[in-house]
Amino acid sequence: MTMALEPARRPATSEPWPLLDDLAYLCSVMVNVYFVGFPHAGDREWALIDAGLPGSADRIARAAEERFGPNSRPSSIILTHGHFDHVGALEALAERWDVPIYAHTMELPYLTGQSSYLPPDPSVGGGLVATLSWTFSRGPIDLGSRVNPLPDDGSVPGLPGWRWIFTPGHTPGHVALFRDADRTLIAGDAFVTTKQESAMAVLTQRRELNGPPMYFTPDWEAAAKSVAALADLDPEIAATGHGEPLRGGSMRADLHDLARDFHRRAVPHQGRYLTQSAGADTNAALTIPPDGPQNLPNLLLGAGEIAMLMQEFLGKHAAMK
């Protein structure tokens, strides 16, 4: 079904790339950030969703100026969750823009210096990114008084007409954002539109609907329920944290299929979080299952991707001579 998936991106010659009149996105290496607001909206008339990888603050700020005008600051920064690739530029941007940040209450321990995330699980396999996930930062960061809990009524500060939806599984306090008027969904990492475990898929942005990144998801039962809840929204656009935003009937059909067949399509065949999910409360993780096995096939798959990437790099280098 994924062969017919339709991208949502509109043609553009500069960053960020438009999806709708009031929605655009920027892809930084392997992760997306979203700009919600009309072009040239001006100061405090738009919002940023997530904050990318470490070192991306200047690029995000330039994209914001390109879309909204010089010295235009957001009214808020909304976090789908607090993993390192979604908050990497957060502290720098919050200081530059003097802007409030909002996240779910269950995500606050990882954003206020109280607790690190659970360890990634390289044993899930799937490619080089998964193999190297043991190196990924677990935090925490400490935003102090800049970070606030999302309102209990489901509203999204700075985004009238949008609502947040609790979608745990990938992290304890993961949320998605939805606008009922045009059925636009910002899904975070509740599901993604590329095979995030594979470096080749990440680099090529190959379109395919998948569950949350396997190496960083500790609660698969909650993740399955979250995907089902998002599929029930029948979104017209699915703007995810990883992979190209998608739209249309083929995407909806594939999302429903992912929800129905989640355990076959999304859950890894092995891993430390399969037989025992990691419990959590507002003070962070309560239980950490034992480490999973690092088996030879997973290591060989990662090594194979390294070889393919080197071959592609050398081929391009030779062609430039």
Per residue in 254-311, pLDDT tens? 999 999 999 999 999 999 999 766 666 666 555 666 665 555 455 544 444 444 443 4
Cα 237 from Cα 242, distance rounded (Å): 14
Mean pLDDT of 201-227: 95
Encoded tokens for 146 = 């800049």
Backbone dihedral angles phi then psi of residue 64, each to the nearest 5 degrees: -65, -45
Least confident range from 159-163, 175-179, 203-207, 249-253: namely 203-207
Give Cα 27 distance to the centre of its chain: 11
pLDDT score recorded for residue 177: 99
pLDDT score recorded for residue 280: 60
Phi-psi region of 67 (alpha: psi -120 to 50; beta: other; left: phi over 0): alpha
Is the per-residue pLDDT at 232 higher than 90? yes
Please name the fold of domain 10-320.
Metallo-beta-lactamase; Chain A (3.60.15)
The residue extents of the domains of the chain are: 10-320
pLDDT by residue (tens digit) across 86-138? 999 999 999 999 999 999 999 999 999 999 999 999 999 999 999 999 999 99
Q: What is the CA angle 49-25-62, rounded to 5?
A: 90
pLDDT band, very low/low/confident/very high, at 205 (cuts 50, 70, 90): confident
Higher-confidence residue of 304 and 248: namely: 248
pLDDT by residue (tens digit) across 23-75? 999 998 899 999 999 999 999 999 999 999 999 999 999 999 999 999 999 99
What are the beta bridge partners of residue 36?
23, 47
Cα 23 from Cα 247, distance rounded (Å): 13
E strand or H helix at 188, and its extent? strand 184-188
Full-model pTM: 0.88
Pick from 224, 121, 128, 229: nearest CA to 185: 229
Give Cα 222 distance to the centre of its chain: 17
pLDDT band, very low/low/confident/very high, at 196 (cuts 50, 70, 90): very high
- DSSP states of 131-153 as a string? HTGGGS-----B-GGGEEEPPTT
Least confident range from 35-44, 160-169, 198-207, 230-239: namely 198-207
pLDDT score recorded for residue 10: 80
Cα 210 from Cα 193, distance rounded (Å): 6
pLDDT score recorded for residue 275: 79
Contact 51, 87 (CB under 8 A): yes
Is the per-residue pLDDT at 317 higher than 50? no
Q: What amino acid occupies position 276?
A: Q
What are the beta bridge partners of residue 103?
149
Q: What is the CA angle 234-236-237, rounded to 5?
A: 120
E strand or H helix at 77, and its extent? strand 76-78
Mean pLDDT of 213-231: 97
Encoded tokens for 44 = 């405090």
Q: What is the CA angle 225-229-232, rounded to 5?
A: 140
pLDDT score recorded for residue 206: 87
pLDDT score recorded for residue 263: 97
